[in-house]
Structure 1
Amino acid sequence: MAAKRLLDVDESSSHEKDCREPKRRRSTSSIAAVIGEVARMRSLQSLCSALEPMLRRVVNEEVEKGFTQRARISRPLPLQIQAQEPSNFELCFAKKLSLPVFTVSILEDEYNNPLQLILLDTRGNQRVRTTLPYPIKIEIVVVDAEFARGECENWTSEYFDSRIVKERTGKRPLITGDDVVVTMRDGCVSIGGLTFTDNSSWIRSRKFILAARVVPGSICHGIRIREALTESFSVKDHRGELYKKHHPPLLNDEVWRLEKIGKEGVFHKRLTIEGVNTVQDFMKLWVVEPTRLRTILEMSDRMFELTIKHAKDCDLGNKHYMVRGGYYTVFLNPICQVVGVTLNGFPYSTNDLNGVQMGHVENLVKNAYAHWGSLEEVDWFVQENSLLQNTN
Structure 2
Amino acid sequence: MEAKRHWDDSDEHSDQSGDKRIKRLPSFSTVIKEAVMANKLQKVCFALEPFLRKVVREEVGTLMHRIYSCPPRSIQMQIEATDQSSLKLIFRRPLSQPIFTGTKIEDIENNPLQILVVDTNSGVEAASALLRLLPIKLELVALEGDFPSGVQEDWTGDEFQNKIVKERTGKRPLVVGDVNVTLRDGVVIIHELIFTDNSSWGKSGMFRIGARVVPGSYDGPRIREAMTEPFKVKDHRGESYKKHHPPALDDAVWRLEKIGKGGKFHNKLAANNINTVQDFLMLLSVDPDRLREILGQGMTDRAWEVTTNHAKTCLVGDKRYVHRGPNCDLVLDSVCEVVSIIAGNNTYGLQDLINRDDRAFVMQLAREAYEHWHDLEEYEASSNGDVPLNQNVQMTQGVVEPLPPYADQENGSLLCRFGPPQLF
Q: TM-score band (shorter)? A: 0.7 to 0.9
| Alignment match, 1:182 | 181
| Alignment match, 1:336 | 336
- Counterpart amino acid of residue 123 in structure 2: R
Which residues of 2 match residues 128-207 of structure 1 at below 5 A?
128-131=124-127, 132-133=130-131, 134-148=134-148, 151=151, 153-177=153-177, 179-207=178-206
Question: Which structure has the highest helix share of the two?
Answer: 1
Task: Evaluate the alpha carbon distance shift between residue 384 and residue 231 of structure 1 in structure 2; reply closer, same or farther with a 3 A threshold.
Answer: closer
Q: Distance in 2 between matches of 1:109 and 1:83?
A: 33
Q: Distance in 2 between matches of 1:140 and 1:247?
A: 27
1:361 positional shift: 2.5
- 8 Å contact from structure 1 (residues 139, 180) kept in 2: yes
Structure 2 residues not aligned, in runs of 5+:
1-59, 392-424
Q: Deviations over 1:270-293 (max 9, x none)?
A: 111111001110111111111211
1:320 positional shift: 2.7
Q: Deviations over 1:154-207 (max 9, x none)?
A: 322122112111111111100011x21122222222212211111112222121
Q: Distance in 1 between matches of 2:356 and 2:85?
A: 69
TM-score normalised by structure 1 residue count: 0.74
Q: Distance in 2 between matches of 1:268 and 1:388?
A: 42
Q: Deviations over 1:310-359 (max 9, x none)?
A: 22222323333222334423222221111212211311132433455444
State the secondary structure of the residue aligned to 2:217: coil
Q: Distance in 2 between matches of 1:144 and 1:368?
A: 54
| Alignment match, 1:106 | 104
- Counterpart amino acid of residue 371 in structure 2: A
Q: Distance in 2 between matches of 1:98 and 1:356?
A: 46
- Counterpart amino acid of residue 189 in structure 1: V
- Counterpart amino acid of residue 83 in structure 1: E
- 8 Å contact from structure 1 (residues 101, 234) kept in 2: yes
1:301 positional shift: 2.7
| Alignment match, 2:25 | none
- Counterpart amino acid of residue 153 in structure 2: E
Q: Distance in 2 between matches of 1:345 and 1:130?
A: 61
Higher alpha-carbon deviation: 162-171 or 298-307: 298-307
- 8 Å contact from structure 1 (residues 79, 153) kept in 2: no
State the secondary structure of the residue aligned to 1:110: coil
Which residues of 2 match residues 29-68 of structure 1 at below 5 A?
none
State the secondary structure of the residue aligned to 1:334: coil
| Alignment match, 1:227 | 225
State the secondary structure of the residue aligned to 1:252: coil
Higher alpha-carbon deviation: 280-289 or 140-149: 140-149
Check if 1:363 corresponds to 2:364: yes
Higher alpha-carbon deviation: 314-323 or 154-163: 314-323
- Counterpart amino acid of residue 312 in structure 2: K
| Alignment match, 1:6 | none
Task: Evaluate the alpha carbon distance shift between residue 389 and residue 343 of structure 1 in structure 2; reply closer, same or farther with a 3 A threshold.
Answer: closer
Q: Distance in 1 between matches of 2:306 and 2:67?
A: 54
Structure 1 residues not aligned, in runs of 5+:
1-62
Task: Evaluate the alpha carbon distance shift between residue 77 and residue 331 of structure 1 in structure 2; reply closer, same or farther with a 3 A threshold.
Answer: farther
| Alignment match, 1:208 | 207
- 8 Å contact from structure 1 (residues 97, 109) kept in 2: yes
Q: Deviations over 1:57-84 (max 9, x none)?
A: xxxxxx9xx9999677573459844533
Task: Evaluate the alpha carbon distance shift between residue 367 and residue 162 of structure 1 in structure 2; reply closer, same or farther with a 3 A threshold.
Answer: same
Task: Evaluate the alpha carbon distance shift between residue 95 and residue 383 of structure 1 in structure 2; reply closer, same or farther with a 3 A threshold.
Answer: closer
